[in-house]
Structure 1
Amino acid sequence: MDKALISKLSSFSVLYAEDEEGIRNNINEILKQLFKKTFVAKNAKEAFNMYESNKPDLIITDIKMPNETGIELIKKIRKRDSKVRVIITSAHTDLDYMLEATELHLVKYIIKPITEGKLFEALEAFIKSYDTARVYNLKEGWLFDESKSLITTENNEFKLTKKENQFLKLLIQKNRIITYEEMENIIWTEDNIMTPNAMRLFIKNFRKKLPENTLRNIQGTGYRLVLD
């Protein structure tokens, strides 16, 4: 598992539901070394309560659990959350199980036994699922969700204005200096003149929502995003 993938996983939280204690403990040992936060449940009811309290980025759940199956758990969650990523594990290769699970928009369906290879492949698919969702890793622990105009850290959320969202997307996608002229043409509209005071206030407020020292001013030219 490469360092880049490990670094990306460290920005996310995961909820793992498994009723078999041995499997639960073994997989938890791996997950807690990779994710920012790891929540572990031994049944669907416990998992649902943890989901509601913590809103994890990823749910990994076994299908067969006492009283309520993993599929029933995810169906309940899907009624209120269409975006949380889901990986299902199961000892079953039954087609009906797999078809029902597929309807829940899964990242991956892992057939037990869960090897490190299978788990890491599924976690890689989880990270790749964000490639088309316009979610960017700014720095360890910092995520930018373009569709929500939101930057999240472990302890904070920063809502971006329309201009801030456009500017950050431009900085990331171009990966170069964005000139003052480009800022005026792309971010500012004809109804809003980019005066020096307006620019200074915009940058001052924008910097407060970014990791420290990541927005660099290139004197007389424009701005560049520097992500280590």
Structure 2
Amino acid sequence: MELKELKVLYADDEIEIRNMVKDCLKCKVKEFYTAKDGLEAFSIYKEKKPDVILLDIHMPNSDGIEVAKKIRQNDHSTRIIMITAFSDTKNLLAASELKLTKYIVKPFTINDVLNSLELALQETLNFKTTNKKNIYLADDFIWDVEVESLFKGSCEVGLTPKERKILQILFSNVNATVSYDTLLIEVWDDFENHSIDTLKTMMKNIRRKLPTNTILNIYATGYKIIL
């Protein structure tokens, strides 16, 4: 994974700084989003699932710390960089338990931002963190790890026993490819009597119950869930 593969969200209520950062970084990363306040930042986070979020502490409609706290209720994988001022000692203490990647102090340079993104990238590559209870997907879908069930909002999505087993395996190996053979052996007791075509047919049914592009087919290898 490289910097150009990251999805980045930058939230700041100062339009000049927001536009300056956008103009400098939009060509260096895969996708770049901006938000003018905390409410918009959290909405974009839920919809776009960025890899890295840069949050200014002082924003209307939920400040940066409030947004980070809401994210950390269920997500310890997304990298968060907090933008602060020298006078923000009290706020920094409040943010000390939010597992932030870095603080950037205003006024900052684009190199400060780039260095912070590089640090966030290395953390993403070197450390894997998953939620023990819920995995949040697009379109308000949730995989509950403890009960091995899929939900759309508060409504459970109907799954057959084999569909549930396949999802349990895939969600236990997020961002890793699970081979066709592994799925056949784990899901079917009489796996020798079933083929990859059987698996592919079932996977089509599973995909209809999930947000688009949740499960990727890795050609001639297996399947992968990307978060």
Where on the TM-score scale, by shorter chain, does this alignment land: which range? 0.5 to 0.7
Q: Is the 8 A contact 1:149 1:161 kept in 2?
A: no
Residue 105 in structure 1 maps to residue 99 in structure 2: yes
CA distance in 2, matches of 1:133, 1:173: 15
TM-score, length-scaled by structure 1 = 0.58
Q: Distance in 2 between matches of 1:171 and 1:59?
A: 20
Q: Tell me, in whole angstroms, the C-alpha distance in 2 between the residues paired with 1:31 and 1:129.
A: 20
Contact 1:31/1:38, CA 8 A, preserved across alignment: no
Comparing 92-101 and 43-52, the one that deviates more: 43-52
C-alpha distance in structure 1 between counterparts of 2:136 and 2:67, whole Å: 28
Distance 1:31 1:127 in 2: 15
CA offsets per residue over residues 64-103 of structure 1, 9 Å max, x none? 335753223433x247543443211112265433222222
Q: Which residue of 2 aligns with 1:138?
A: none
Change (3 A) 1:128 1:173: farther
| The structure with more radius of gyration | 1
**Residue 75 (structure 2) pairs with residue 82 (structure 1):** yes
When residues 48 and 204 of structure 1 are mapped into structure 2, their CA distance, relative to the original with a 3 A threshold, is closer
The alignment status of 1:39 with 2:34, answered yes or no, reads yes
Specify the alignment match of 1:195 in structure 2.
192
Give, in whole Å, the separation in 2 of the partners of 1:26 and 1:68: 23
Query: 1:1-228 maps to which residues of 2 (within 5 A)?
Result: 4-9=1-6, 12=7, 14-33=8-27, 34-41=29-36, 43-51=37-45, 54=47, 56-57=49-50, 58-65=52-59, 69-75=63-69, 77-78=70-71, 81-83=74-76, 84-92=78-86, 94-131=88-125, 132-133=127-128, 162-163=165-166, 166=169, 169=173, 172=176, 187-188=186-187, 192-206=189-203, 211=216, 214-216=218-220, 223=221
2:65 counterpart SS class: helix
Kindly report the root-mean-square deviation, in angstroms, between the aligned alpha carbons of the 2 structures: 4.6
Amino-acid identity (%): 24
Cα 1:31–1:149 change in 2 (3 A) is same
Flag structure 1 segments of 5+ consecutive residues without an equivalent. 136-144, 217-222
Contiguous gaps of at least 5 residues in structure 2 = 143-149, 151-162, 208-212
CA drift of 1:26 comes to: 0.8
Q: Say how many residue pairs are matched.
A: 192
CA distance in structure 2 between the aligned counterparts of 1:161 and 1:17, rounded to whole angstroms: 38
